[in-house]
Amino acid sequence: MCMISVHFDQVVGPVKPMHAVNNGPAHALSNVAINNHEAWRDAGIPYARNHDASLYPGYGLEHVVDISAVFPDFSADVNDPASYDFVLTDEYTEAMLDNGTKPFYRLGTKIEHWTKKYGTLPPADFRKWAEICAHIIAHYNEGWADGHRWNIEYWEIWNEPDLGPKTWGGTPEQFYDLFEITAKHLKERFPQLKIGGPALARDTEWSDAFLQEMQRRRVPMDFFSWHIYCADPAKLTARQEVLRQQLTKYGYGNAETICNEWNYTKDRKNLFVYNLEVVFSAKGAAFCTACMLTGQQSTLDMMMYYDARPGTILNGMFDFYTLGVLKGYYPFKMFNTLYRMGSSCSARADDKDIYVSAAKDAAGNSSILLCYYTDDDTVTETKTVRLDLTGGADSYDMYLLDADTDAACTGVFTGGCITLAPNTVVLLKSTGTDKGEV
């Protein structure tokens, strides 16, 4: 039997935005009157990073987000509003804001898996590139070029420079130069904003050299972003601790750490189809829940699932054709129950396959999110979990997410034990809190 101890009388910090994502809500194409806005709002997605937006027709393909889309002619006058094309990026960004999501803007380009590279090549003039970035920020935050005052806080420089030509076609030293010039320029121009990057793909030796060089050059960095694709949530926290140690070592101990790409992947080369089957399954939903709960318990500041963009092979949230919700949508909606309550409370399980977090709000409502996740497909045995609660409510509405049930209320929990099948998620909400709704 697994023991879970929850102390609602011990607040350990805020519930963090572990249910953020890459890319925003899909809005209708010119001849198709469907979208996923209602489901998006219900999930309470707090932030959406706009990386790879230009791979989806519903956002605008090559006319949206990327520097080459917003500033299509690099030889043009950087100070002339006519040099910029903001139209589709404005629409895409506004759809996020209209549905309650804060944009997280990646300055750079999409990944290029094809043979010939275009946007991933180093810019011809790093200082001009930094000026273009500054004008984009001014458009969205200061109203420049018939723009907006949307107060977008996070601005990320580039994506996965350690991955090679598909993301960065130059040398590490060239990237150091680009990051230094851009970060210093943007931080001087917009000191109130959070400027960071570099969206590390996986190479922690690369990140060590990068951070050492950034320290030597006295480059400001408000956040450090990184990615992981794995099948074990413990690998997420292990990577986080390695990077946190590196940041502290090189004088960036106060920088936020943001895992802004993650999803289920096991042996990408030989089990590619299997990985996709998991992403769309109850096991994939349990994995997502386990990762968010692991992130909440870790020193991470934010996590951003890849990807909420309809059509990508790694979107377990929304159907490509109908935009209807899939099994992997519900962990985000369930975690949002904790996030809305605000205060994270002490919660621990004594079984490595049981994950848990708890929260409460100022009105005395409380909630617990727990799951049983295992990557071993041969495991069929259930696990009995006993909850030892200090404080909290007398009774909780219980919501179940498994292969047969989509976060439906299945009864009332008044204490004692819960039996969980492998890859099952349970949300407990104090009775009377938004009854009937996750």
User: How many Cα atoms are found within 13 Å in the side-chain-facing hemisphere of 273?
Assistant: 0
Q: 16-341: what fold?
A: TIM Barrel (3.20.20)
Q: Could you read off the pLDDT tens digit of each residue along the chain, which spans 438 residues?
A: 999 999 999 999 999 999 999 999 997 665 567 899 999 999 999 999 999 999 998 899 999 999 999 999 999 999 999 999 999 999 999 999 999 999 999 999 999 999 999 999 999 999 999 999 999 999 999 999 999 999 999 999 999 999 999 999 999 999 999 999 999 999 999 999 999 999 999 999 999 999 999 999 999 999 999 999 999 999 999 999 999 999 999 999 999 999 999 999 999 888 999 999 999 999 999 999 999 999 999 999 999 999 999 888 899 999 988 999 999 999 999 999 999 999 999 999 999 999 999 999 999 999 999 999 999 999 999 999 999 999 999 999 999 999 999 999 999 999 999 999 999 999 999 987 765 568
Q: Does 343-430 match 16-341 at the fold level?
A: no
Q: Return the sign of the alpha-carbon dihedral for residues 82, 85, 87, 89.
A: negative
Rounded to 10 deg, the angle between the 172-189 and 204-216 helix axes is 50
User: How many Cα atoms are found within 13 Å in the side-chain-facing hemisphere of 432?
Assistant: 6
Residue linked to tokens 């492998």: 422
- Integer Cα distance of 197 and 178 in angstroms: 12
* Class at the top of the CATH hierarchy for domain 343-430: mainly beta
In the chain, the largest separation of any two C-alpha atoms, in whole Å, equals 68
Percent helix, strand, coil in the chain, to 5, is 30, 25, 40
Peptide bond into 422 cis (omega under 30): no
| Nearest by Cα to 141 from 108, 102, 178, 109 | 102
- What are the residue boundaries of the structural domains of the chain, listed by start? 16-341, 343-430
| Nearest by Cα to 354 from 384, 392, 397, 332 | 384
CB 196 within 8 A of CB 255: yes
Start-to-end Cα distance in the chain: 27
